Structure 1
Amino acid sequence: MDIGHRLRTIRKKRGLSQRELATRAGLTNGTISLIEQNKTSPSVASLKSLLDAIQVSMAEFFATLEESSKSKYFYTAEEFTEIAPPDLDGPQAQLLSLRQLGNAQEHALQLLHERYAPGADTGPELLSHDAEEAGVIIRGQIEITVDDAVDTLGPGDGYLFNSQLPHRFRNTGTEECEIISACTPPSF
């Protein structure tokens, strides 16, 4: 997916200049320009800030089209939509993967298959959105910050919290962490 082009299209559709979007999202005008030209890739938290500023959820931004005339119940692994922005700089590529099942805008639930390489995180800025989220760690370990609480969870452990609380995910371990998570309503 061409994140820069999609962001530019939505920004213009909303009648916002790069400068206005930058101000609303707490970023620099130059950063917006670089993202829209695909010369840099935003962190998950930065992209979330940008999308919040234009009132678009991550689910909507990365929505895949489902045929409205026929319900779809089953998805192959290849049909999941990657909603973590790709890192265009190379060495950080594939550190974080957030794969969404189906088109979350068509459902009341957003389901993600998450993978965090050692050292990967959702970014230095804490995330916040209108929903509740929960997940179960399948393998590896993940440090989760929710408001002022921090804990490291491993296989079989889970979490459940109000997503309006500032939160962050970070793999502090030595192996990849895999999580199955859900968010309702879809707002990430």
Structure 2
Amino acid sequence: MEGFDVGTRLRELRKARKLSQRELAKRAGVTNSTISLIEQNSVSPSVSSLKKILDALPVSISAFFAGDEPAPPRAFYPAEELTEIGDGYLSWRLVAARRPDRSMSIIYERYPPGADTGDAMLEHDGEEGGVVVAGEIELTVSGEVQILCAGDAYYFDSRLPHRFRNIGKEECVIVSANSPPTFAEGGREMHHA
């Protein structure tokens, strides 16, 4: 993640919770070396790996990247103020990440060619939907696979196992929403992570 020190932020959160690297790794179901390498910024975690680790703290993706300070409600958000919550390869920019009373998450997603949400199928509470703005995406929901192109849309129960993959040669852009706003709540419920 350009301009964001993932390793230092993870180490600060782990130490604030008085957890050893070994204990965090055990809770997250990852190896000790994974935690160590991430904290040293020797490896950049995938979204799915970061999700497992943050779930074990628990800390939400938005709190991890945006900090814990809530922001007062407002109506407009310039592009440069969207909070990047992707993994440095996938770009997911969350609208109003620190708004304390959000009842949904709206995300501007960008998948480079070959990008994917990870080998593990995602499952979390809520519903999600989106519209492909550019490119194409392969979406798997509960074993059903569909390739969606610009203008195509999706909407499903997020408890169904799902995965997003850009199998095309161009970047895929999606504008999505999910409810409840699980990026802000910490714990296990997150979108595309």
TM-score (norm 1): 0.86
Q: Which deviates more from structure 2 when the two are superposed, residues 135-144 or residues 147-156?
A: 147-156
Equivalent residue, structure 2, for 1:55: 58
* Structure 1 moving runs of 4+ over 3 Å: 64-68
RMSD: 1.7
| Matching residue of 1:147 | 142
Amino acid at match of 1:102: A
Moved more, 140-149 or 51-60: 51-60
Whole-Å separation in 1 of the counterparts to 2:19 and 2:126:
26
In the alignment, the residues of structure 2 paired with residue 66 and residue 72 of structure 1 have an alpha-carbon distance, to the nearest angstrom, of 12
Instruction: Work out the CA distance in 2 between the residues paired with 1:8 and 1:163.
Output: 30
User: Which residue of structure 2 aligns with residue 76 of structure 1?
Assistant: 78
Measured in 2, the distance between the counterparts of 1:124 and 1:26 equals 15
Residue aligning to 2:16 = 13
- Percent identity (aligned): 55
More deviation, 142-151/121-130: 121-130
CA separation in 2, counterparts of 1:103 and 1:155? 26
The range that moved more, 162-171 or 178-187, is 162-171
Between stretches 173-182 and 6-15, larger displacement belongs to: 6-15
Give the drift of 1:137: 0.5
Unaligned runs of 5+ in 2: 183-189
Q: Which runs of 5+ in 1 are unaligned?
A: 87-94
Aligned equivalents of 1:83, 1:99: Cα separation in 2: 6
Q: Distance in 1 between matches of 2:119 and 2:98?
A: 26
Distance 1:8 1:57 in 2: 15
Bigger relative CO (Cα 8 Å, ≥ 6 apart)? 2
Q: Which residue of 2 aligns with 1:180?
A: 175
Indicate if the aligned counterparts of 1:63 and 1:105 stay in contact, CA closer than 8 A: no
Q: Distance in 2 between matches of 1:45 and 1:60?
A: 16
CA contact (8 A) 1:121 1:170 kept: yes
**Residue 118 of structure 1 corresponds to which residue in structure 2?**
113
Change (3 A) 1:105 1:73: closer
Aligned pair in 2 of structure 1 residues 124, 166: CA closer, same or farther (>3 Å)?
Answer: same
The farther-off stretch of 76-85 and 158-167 is: 158-167
